[in-house]
Amino acid sequence: MTQAYEINFDGLVGPTHNYAGLSYGNVASMGNSSAVSNPREAVKQGLQKMYALHKLGIPQAVLPPLLRPDLATLRRLGFTGTDAQVLNKVAKQAPVLLACVSSASSMWTANACTMSPSADSLDGKVHFTAANLANRFHRSIEGPQTAKLLRAIFADESHFAHHDPLPLGDHFGDEGAANHTRLCREYGEPGVQIFVYGKYAFDPTQPAPQKFPARQTREASEAIARLHQLHADKVVFVQQNPAVIDQGVFHNDVIAVGNRNVLFFHEQAFLDKDTALADIRRAYGDDELHFIEVSSKAMPLEDAVRSYLFNSQLVSLPTGGMALIVPGECEANPRVWAYLQELLTRQTPIKAVHVFDVKQSMRNGGGPACLRQRIVLTESQRSTVSAKVWMSDEAFSALNAWADRHYRESLSAADLADPQLFIESEQAVSALQLLLTLRYR
How far apart are the two ends of the chain, measured CA to CA in Å? 37
DSSP 187-227: TTS--EEEEEESB-SS-TTS---SSS---SBHHHHHHHHHH
Of 137, 158, 162, the residue nearest 149 (C-alpha): 162
Annotated catalytic residue 175: yes
Residue 427 CA, distance from chain mean position:
25
List strand residue ranges (DSSP E) for 55-103, in order: 60-63
Do 69 and 16 form a contact (C-beta atoms < 8 A)?
Answer: yes
Annotated catalytic residue 288: no
CA–CA distance from 372 to each of 45, 94, 270, 329 (Å)?
Answer: 13, 32, 23, 18
- Give the list of residues 6+ apart from residue 347 with CB closer than 8 angstroms, or none: none
Of 349, 332, 352, the residue nearest 341 (C-alpha): 352
Q: Which entry of 175, 219, 329, 424 is annotated as an active-site residue? A: 175
| DSSP H or E run through 427 | helix 419-436
- Describe the strand order of the beta sheet including 262-266 as a list of residue ranges: 256-259, 262-266, 290-294
DSSP lists the bridge partners of residue 362 as none
Round the CA-based radius of gyration of the chain to a whole number and report it.
21
Q: Which entry of 100, 113, 330, 370 is annotated as an active-site residue? A: 370
Q: Which entry of 17, 138, 251, 406 is annotated as an active-site residue? A: 251
**14: which DSSP letter?**
P
CA distance 355 to 322: 14
- Catalogue the active-site residues: 175, 251, 370
